[in-house]
Every structure is written in C-alpha cells, then in structure tokens.
Structure 1
Amino acid sequence: MSGGPPVRPGYHRRVARELRVPRALAALPAPVRWLALPVALTCTVVVLLGSWSASDDGVEVPQPTGKAAGYCRKLAAALPQELLGHARRDPSPASPYVAAWGTTSRTVLRCGVDRPDELNGEHAMDWSPTVDDVTWWSQKLTDGGYRFVTTQRSAYVEVTVPAGAAANPFDPAAALTGAVKANIPG
C-alpha cells in the first residue's frame, strides 16, 4: 500500500506527452540534448559580458581593481574638457576609465589597462619619452597612429592617437602628463 494520493488512470502518459522533446532535438543524441541548454545559457552570458566590457563606440573599457581603480577615478575627474583644441566626447556608455577628445579621428585615454605584452618583447626598447617624470612607452600602430602607455606608475594609462589627430603624435600624451602625474603615483 502506498502512502500517496491515488493516481488517475492515464496520468503518466499525459505527463510524458507534455514533457516530450521537440522533434528537432529528439533526433540528436542524448548527450547533445543534455548540453543544449547549458551551452545556450553560457553563450548568452558571454555575449552579455562582452557587451558590458566594450563601449558602443568600439572602445574596450578596462576593468581595474583595487587601488588602480581609485587612481583612475581620480584621474577621470581631473581630465580636461578640451585637449589641443578638440572637445571631449567620451564613448557611450560613460566610464570613469575611458575618455576621448575629437570626433572622427579622436584621441582616446584608457586608465587601468593591463601591462602591454609588447613591453616584454622586441618593442620593449621602442622610443619612450619622459615628460615631467612620467615615462610614456610608445608604439607605432599599423594604421599610422601611435599608442602611448605610462610605465612605472601605480596604474597603466594608455593614450591612443590616430594618424592625423595631432600635429605631433606625442602632443596629446604630453598634454595629459600633468593630470597623470598628479593622480597616478609613480
């Protein structure tokens, strides 16, 4: 004698019918069917995370942690609204770790970036100017622009200057040196 309520005739067949796998999935082997939902959920999460880490303008937003994040927020508050005659137009959505000046060919500052891998390779000895005790490692980009990254600071700051955005590609980084020095300790 069972302790549960009586089961109506045909109950198990009706439940089984309601839980049937769609025909498209029924043709697949069982392990594939079992993994379909977890794989779909994982892909959704990856897409969502990817959309949160890059701005609508295609600028990858750094995710600094700890003290570096605090230094970057202080730097963001100190950045100028105009840089070498170009108005500040930050990417959307706004982030305290990214700033931009200009319109089509614009200078972009990203604070809290990872240490560039190139600093360990053949580009480690590339031209690295120092302005007011802030050293900027430089790299010429394939599109003719330049990337400058601070070295020997508590957070890495990157300034990307596209070709033609400034008379001298180093001018934007040099103009931002005072704000970097005042807010990112060496």
Structure 2
Amino acid sequence: MSLHRRPLRVPALSVLASVLALAGCTPGDSVARVDPPPTPPADVAGFCAALHKELPETVAGLARAEAAPESDLTAAWGGSAIVLRCGIPKPPEMADEKLGGVEVDGVRWLLKPVPDSAGGGFRFITGMRLAYTEVRVDKEHATDAGMLVGLSGVVARTVPEGISSY
C-alpha cells in the first residue's frame, strides 16, 4: 500500500456507531499471551512507552487484559480479542499497493485480513508514524475499523508523524 495516496476517510459518526454497537460485548479479564516484537531502537521504544502509558482501559467495550509477558510494547483487551504490539519492524505489507487503508482521527492504518487458518480477523498497522504499531482483532470483533477510534487518538498524541527507518 502506498501511504502517499489519499487514504479512505472513515466518518467519525459511523465509527462511533460501530463502537457503540460493540459496547454490549462482555469484557474479558483473562491473561493474553502477546509476544513483544524484537527490541526496537531507543527512540522507537520511547514512543511505544509513551503510547503504553496512555492506552485506554477499554476498547470497543472490551476491558484491558493483562498481557504476558508484561511489556511497554504490548497491550490487550477482552483477553486476546484485541492485541496491540508497538515497535514492530517495518512490515513488508507496507510495499503492497493492493492492500487498503483507512484514516481514523488523523492516523493512517493499513488493513490486512488474517487468514481463517490463523484464526481470522484483521491486522491493522499504522503508517506514516515514527513507530509502527500493529493491532490484531479477532474474527468476532473485526466487523469494521470502529475499534480503532479508541486507539487512534492515543497514537496521534504519542507517536509522531514521519517515516520510521526501523
């Protein structure tokens, strides 16, 4: 995907409606196994630590879960329904012109379906930020980009715009 093209804009009202529709989901409180990415450079790790401190307690109506092992590079909500990893190396998908993207609250996200053989759902990856952040959403909660509303504002505040060299 070329992030230099005009991104698809998701109207805030339709995204909000999606979030409210998901708000009835039962929050999970289990521990989520989340493998942290390889140790990123210090500047990227600093952006991820800032992001981690500001992450919301709920996303799409799902409560924050304990991520194991504990790391400033990872977070989870609803058990492992929504999993975040910050500081991932530049994904090869960034070069794929065929993949689509959305822009939510000023943050561009690349969308990639997760194959059913790997559990289904979606993988969202930030673009045009100095640290790549990946959000995996399970099949049940991957109805649209609504879950990104609670995360995009925090990413916009803590991870500066730019092109990461990592």
Which one scores higher on RCO, CA 8 angstroms, separation ≥ 6? 2
| C-alpha displacement of 1:106 | 1.1
* In 1: Cα distance, 2:62 partner to 2:70 partner: 18
Contact 1:163 1:169 in 2 (8 A): no
TM-score, scaled relative to structure 1: 0.63
Change (3 A) 1:79 1:57: closer
Partner of 1:50: none
**Tell me, which stretches of 5 or more residues in structure 1 are unaligned?**
1-55
SS across alignment from 1:125 = coil
Q: 1:113 aligns with which of 73, 84, 88?
A: 88
Post-superposition CA distance 1:28-76 (Å, at most 9, x none): xxxxxxxxxxxxxxxxxxxxxxxxxxxx954220222221110100000
Partner of 2:98: 125
Of all paired residues, the percent bearing the same amino acid is 37
Structure whose residues are more often helix by fraction = 1
Q: 1:149 aligns with which of 105, 111, 125?
A: 125
**Which has the larger Rg?**
1
TM-score, scaled relative to structure 2: 0.71
* In 1: Cα distance, 2:106 partner to 2:86 partner: 18
Contact 2:66 2:75 in 1 (8 A): yes
SS across alignment from 1:135 = strand
**Tell me, which stretches of 5 or more residues in structure 2 are unaligned?**
1-30, 162-166
* In 1: Cα distance, 2:138 partner to 2:65 partner: 15
Contact 2:33 2:68 in 1 (8 A): no
Q: Please provide the CA RMSD for this pair.
A: 1.7
Partner of 2:62: 86
Amino acid at match of 1:169: D
Structure whose residues are more often strand by fraction = 2
* In 2: Cα distance, 1:77 partner to 1:69 partner: 12
Change (3 A) 1:57 1:100: closer
Contact 1:146 1:160 in 2 (8 A): yes
Partner of 2:40: 64
SS across alignment from 1:158 = strand
Instruction: Say if 2:129 is the partner of 1:181.
Output: no
